[in-house]
Amino acid sequence: MSEHRPAPILPGSAIGVLGSGQLGRMFAIAARRMGYRVHTLSPDEDTPTGQVADVEVNAPYEDLAAVCKFASGVSVVTFEFENVPAETAAAAARCAPVRPGGHVLHIAQHRLREKTFLSEAGLPVTAFRRVNSLEELRRAAKDVGLPAILKTAGFGYDGKGQYRIFGESDFPLAWAAVGESEAVLEAFVNFDREISVVAARTMNGDFVHYGAVENQHRNGILDISIAPARVPDQVAQNAVEIARAVLAKLEVVGVLCVEFFVCADGTLLINELAPRPHNSGHFTFDANITSQFEQQLRAVCGLPLGSVTQFAPAAMANLLGDLWDEGEPDWAAAASIPDVKLHLYGKLTARPGRKMGHLTAIARSTDEALRHVERARCLLARDKVTHTQPVN
Contacts with ligand AMP by CB under 6 A lie at 126, 149, 156-159, 186, 188-189, 194, 217, 220, 271-272
Orientation of helix 64-72 relative to helix 86-93, angle to 10°? 40
Q: Which residues pair with 288 in a beta bridge?
A: 310
Rounded Cα–Cα distance for residues 226 and 69 (Å): 41
**Cα(299)–Cα(202) distance, integer angstroms:** 5
Nearer to ligand AMP, 164 or 351 (CB): 164
User: Which CB, 190 or 389, lies closer to ligand AMP?
Assistant: 190
Q: How far is the CB of 161 from ligand AMP (least distance, A)?
A: 8
Under DSSP, is residue 259 helix (H, G, I), strand (E, B) or coil?
A: strand
- Which CB, 171 or 331, lies closer to ligand AMP? 171
- Minimum Å gap between C-beta 257 and ligand AMP is 11
In terms of CB distance, is 271 or 290 closer to ligand AMP? 271
Residues of the chain by 3-state class (helix, strand, coil), percent to 5: 35, 25, 40
CB of 312 to ligand AMP, least distance (A): 26
Q: Which is nearer to ligand AMP, 238 or 271 (CB)?
A: 271
Q: Which residue is nearest to ligand AMP (CB)?
A: 189
Q: Measured from the CB of residue 392, what is the shortest distance to ligand AMP in angstroms?
A: 44
Pairing of strands 128-131, 76-79: unpaired
Residues near 357 by beta carbon (within 8 Å), at least 6 away in sequence: 22, 318, 319, 342, 343, 344, 345
DSSP 236: H
Give which of 370, 198, 373, 367 is closest to 281, Cα–Cα. 198
How near is the Cβ of 45 to ligand AMP at its closest, in Å? 28
Q: Which is nearer to ligand AMP, 56 or 259 (CB)?
A: 259
Closer Cβ to ligand AMP, 39 or 151, answer by number: 151
Least distance CB 188 / ligand AMP (angstroms): 4
Whole-number minimum distance, CB 38 to ligand AMP, in Å?
28
Backbone angles phi, psi at 150, to 5 degrees: -100, 125
CA 185 to chain centre: 22
Q: Cα(199)–Cα(379) distance, rounded to whole angstroms?
A: 33
